[in-house]
Amino acid sequence: MPHMTLQKKIFLVAAVLFLLVVLYFSFDIARKTTFPGSKPNLKERIAPSSDTIK
């Protein structure tokens, strides 16, 4: 990339760092959560409990 100004280089470095940080946090959050459809259906969630029906 010939003749890049210093401002463009700084912007490019800042944009790359920002994208890396966003990707890292996205991966970290995705690793700690599970897809709701993958959880087994517990009897407590399927059957209505007696304290909720009044």
**pLDDT tens column, 20-47:** 999 999 999 988 887 777 766 666 666 5
Quote the pLDDT of residue 48: 62
**Residue 50 to residues 7, 43, 54, Cα–Cα distance (Å):** 66, 13, 8
Q: Is 46 a member of any domain?
A: no
The span from the CA of 20 to the CA of 28, in Å, is 12
Q: Is 24 a member of any domain?
A: yes
**pLDDT tens column, 41-52:** 666 666 565 555
Q: Is 4 a member of any domain?
A: yes
Indicate the number of domains in the chain: 1
Q: Is 15 a member of any domain?
A: yes
Q: Is 41 a member of any domain?
A: no
Residue 3 predicted with pLDDT over 70: yes
Q: Is 8 a member of any domain?
A: yes
Q: Is 30 a member of any domain?
A: yes
Instruction: Record the tokens describing residue 36, joined without a space.
Output: 């709701």
pTM of the predicted model over 0.85? no
Domain, as residue range, for 15: 1-36
The span from the CA of 54 to the CA of 52, in Å, is 6
